[in-house]
A and B are shown apart, each in its own frame.
Chain A
Amino acid sequence: MTTQQTDRAQPPLDALARLESEAIHIFREVAGEFDRPVILFSGGKDSTVLLHLAVKAFWPAPVPFPLLHVDTGHNLDEVIDFRDRTVARYGLRLVVASVQDYIDDGRLQERPDGTRNPLQTVPLLDGITANKFDAVFGGGRRDEERARAKERIFSLRNSFGQWEPRRQRPELWNLYNGRHRAGEHVRVFPLSNWTELDVWRYIKREAIELPSIYFAHTRAVFQRDGMWLTAGPWFGPRADEPVEELTVRYRTVGDGSCTGAVRSEAADLDEVIAEVSASRLTERGATRADDRLSEAAMEDRKREGYF
């Protein structure tokens, strides 16, 4: 983010520049049409790219929205550390909706499998209602999953936060319709048209900092359901799950009890991009147990108000 004069002759917009321009356009539409937008921010790569685009959209003014983190309490220290540093660097306000608080006072109950991703929906919706947020930016991409592939960039949610796929508005040209009634809100996905590889290439082009867990490192892990999970206070292992020291990295950031690491030697961005290009598994399929539960897992959770 420098102000130096570049004065370069502009080559035609390439695919990444078009995606960036589209995302910036979406951020500015929301800033112009909504009263209380918020950016969902987990410290993961997609929400970090989202925040980077927001900073670029409103430069040199600060980002005119706060951030909201739905905290499962099952975090890797590196991610929370990164989250707090990023918030401080941009001088933003962070609202945390804590799943742990809900469990502590009995509003939510821990699941038998210990997984907390499905528990995020209630704190998320309560956080949206309590703060009267009317537009909620998420880092979701349509290439992640078949149900997401059908979601609009502006996705209207009723007062229960539910997505109704059969009642979606047609989304025409780049004219977004953000009209909603009191109590309803709109989920906005500026990265809708990006692929996982686009995100990584953009991170490299823009030199965006990420939590260190995205790059190969040595970690004490154990195997469950074919995934490598971090040994830690919440995650296990059980007695029959031996812990090993392996070189791994994470492809996504999520609840530690159901988000796995992958064996990887990719220690920098070039190596990660090479690995993602060659991968034979989707990032969710490789590392997210919660999406494997049923064929319609994501659609069901979205209907309930999940991102």
Chain B
Amino acid sequence: MGHTTQDLLRLATAGSVDDGKSTLVGRLLYDTKSVLADTLDAVHRASVDKGLSTPDLSLLVDGLRSEREQGITIDVAYRYFATPKRSFVLADTPGHVQYTRNTVTGASTAQLAVLLVDARKGVLEQTRRHAAVLALLGVPRLVLAVNKVDLVDYDEATFEVIAKEFTDHAGALGYPIGSVLSIPVSALVGDNVVDRSAHTPWYTGPTLLEHLETVPVEPDPHDAPLRFPVQYVIRTNTAEHTDYRGYAGQVAAGTVRPGDEVVVLPSGLRTTVARVDTADGELAEAEAGRSVTLVLADNIDISRGDLIAAAAAAPVAVEEFEATLAWLSDKPLRAGARVLVKHGARTVQAIVGELNARFDEQKLTSVPDPESLALNEIGRVLVRTAEPLPVDDYAINRRTGAFLVIDAADGSTLAAGLVGAGLPALSGPGTPTTSGDLVSPGP
């Protein structure tokens, strides 16, 4: 088999309507032989029924009836493929403006994003908006797939103009040069997706799949100070485990070892890690991303929602903090809104006190003191919570700097919340961004 110890890359795709995203994803699945014969048969049959002469690979991913009827993608589709080098979890996100919230969903867990543009149209408004969302959510690496190069006669100059415009835009959003790669592709024909194209001798970089297989996976923040949100208290009393009391959770940042000095927030009580337990036995250490159970040296009161953190570098629990919201609801946000905030394993009541700025993702500037934030808008706000939350800045830690804004009445998710100013353009209201004050996205 040989696949069992390979690593995992989570990626997202984004692009405007009709850029051919579903076709590109279909091509990746098809050319990596991740599509099995019966699925292909169904696509061939459906393509013939639609009067097409070649199989429509987008049918591999457009799963809902209304998507197939309208020929568009409505919802995030998750796809899985593996090569001998790596396993991939791919979030295919829709291009329609009203579905940008799904791009936020796909981007929140992505380590890399593939943005598509149509070589005939170049960088569009929606491309710029998507890039801003990807930067905001801290996706560390971007690929610009300049699709349909066959329709511009594989013209190098056309590709170069688009690649430069996008690289400049990404740079203004904080992406350093080496984190963005542009590739000329044709998803329909298969140029430079998996196999190198004979039509683009002027392009010397990797194909899309070669790049995905070899791009460094951003490591979880192992070296960061420990952050361990307590999800559940495991208690039992058996002959083998007398008065067992362990704190179950997933290490959000750093590494935890027996003997570590920790502080429990918000209580501020200090203790030491006695054991790092799993069902497979005790561990000498557990790094970010691993689900474990901590047994502590002292019997102190800890419950779900508390945070166990490195004593030497604990976050401050605050009741008021600046945050960036990507608003995902049809109901606009206005100052004074009462909401719920879910951070780590804790959900608290909160008020959005002030709307300080709305981000203009086209001009990369911010508009001060907006009346409201509407669906798909990004803004900087002040959040006040009923109980203190031990937050980190999202730019430092995507896991402990993230929160959900939830409608207390109907339970719906209203916004993706990021602690801190988010994008450089949002850090000062009304001030256009210059290249001098950029920070790179991600940790």
Contact = CB atoms under 8 A, between A and B. Distances in A.
Nearest to A59: B279
Interface residues on A, range: 35 or more
Interface stretch (A18-26, A108-116, A252-260): A18-26
Contacts of B6: 14-15
Interface in A141-200: 142-143, 145-150, 165-166, 168-175, 177, 179-181, 192-193, 195, 197
A29 B231 contact: yes
Interface of A: 1-22, 24-25, 28-29, 31-32, 55-62, 142-143, 145-150, 165-166, 168-175, 177, 179-181, 192-193, 195, 197, 201, 205, 273-274, 277, 279-282, 285-286, 295-296, 299
Interface stretch (B69-77, B122-130, B191-199, B419-427): B69-77
Contact of B4 (A57, A142, A143, A205): A205
Contact of A12 (B7, B65, B108, B109): B7
16 contacts: A5-B281, A8-B283, A10-B287, A15-B8, A21-B290, A25-B231, A29-B345, A32-B304, A57-B248, A146-B77, A150-B63, A166-B75, A170-B101, A172-B413, A179-B340, A282-B39
Nearest to B408: A179
B437 interface: no
A146 B63 contact: yes
A32 B232 contact: yes
Interface of B: 1, 3-8, 36-39, 42, 46, 60-66, 68, 74-80, 82, 87, 89, 101-102, 104-105, 108-109, 219, 231-232, 234-236, 238, 240-241, 244, 248-250, 277-287, 289-291, 293, 304, 328, 340, 342-343, 345, 398-399, 402-404, 406, 410-413, 416
Contacts of B108: 172-173
A169 B413 contact: yes
Contacts of A62: 236
A15 B87 contact: yes
A147 B412 contact: no
Contacts of A192: 78
Contact of B5 (A9, A14, A177, A181): A14
B63 A28 contact: no
Given A9-B284, A193-B78, A273 B63 contact: no
Contacts of B412: 169, 179
Given A32-B231, A195-B80, A181 B61 contact: no
Contact of A149 (B77, B87, B285): B77
A226 B3 CA distance: 32
A31 B320 CA distance: 29
Contacts of B232: 28, 31-32, 58
B411 A179 contact: yes
A145 B80 CA distance: 12
Given A10-B283, A15-B87, A150-B76, A281 B4 contact: no
